[in-house]
Amino acid sequence: MKKLLFLFTLLASTSALAEVKTVTLAVPSMNCVTCPITVKKSLTNVEGVTKAEVTYATKLAIVTYDDKKTNVATLVNATTNAGYPSILKN
Ligand SMILES: [Cu+2]
């Protein structure tokens, strides 16, 4: 019983600590309509990313991620490694 209680406490605290964040990255080097596909793939491949909306018209990537699993620097790295350097847009 004590063990079970511990498990519940652990699960509850884990979900309470997980913080979902949404950031907007500017990806100025996207130069055609297929670029967002590559950028989106690079972002969704990052562990902790739950959603990535990449738009060519605005050259923006709106990324939703778990703050406990990844961070902005990792997201920027991911797009940069895919050939599209990005910067955090406020
Ligand atoms: Cu392109």
**pLDDT (tens digit, 9 = 90+) per residue, 72-81?**
999 999 999 9
Measure 30 CA to ligand 1 centroid, in angstroms.
Answer: 6
CATH at residue 57: 3.30.70.100
Closest CA to 75 of 33, 47, 35: 47
Measure 52 CA to ligand 1 centroid, in angstroms.
Answer: 17
Instruction: Report the pLDDT value the prediction gives residue 18, as an integer from 0 to 100.
Output: 77
Residue 45 lies in a domain: yes
Residue 44 lies in a domain: yes
- Surrounding ion ligand 1 within 5 Å at CB are 32, 34-35
When comparing pLDDT for 13 and 52, which is higher? 52
CA dist 26 and 7 (Å) reads: 41
Instruction: Report the pLDDT value the prediction gives residue 63, as an integer from 0 to 100.
Output: 98
**pLDDT (tens digit, 9 = 90+) per residue, 45-70?**
999 999 999 999 999 999 999 999 99
- What is the number of structural domains in the chain? 1
Q: In 27-78, which ranges are E strands? A: 49-55, 60-66
CA dist 60 and 51 (Å) reads: 14
Q: What percent of the chain has pLDDT over 70?
A: 81
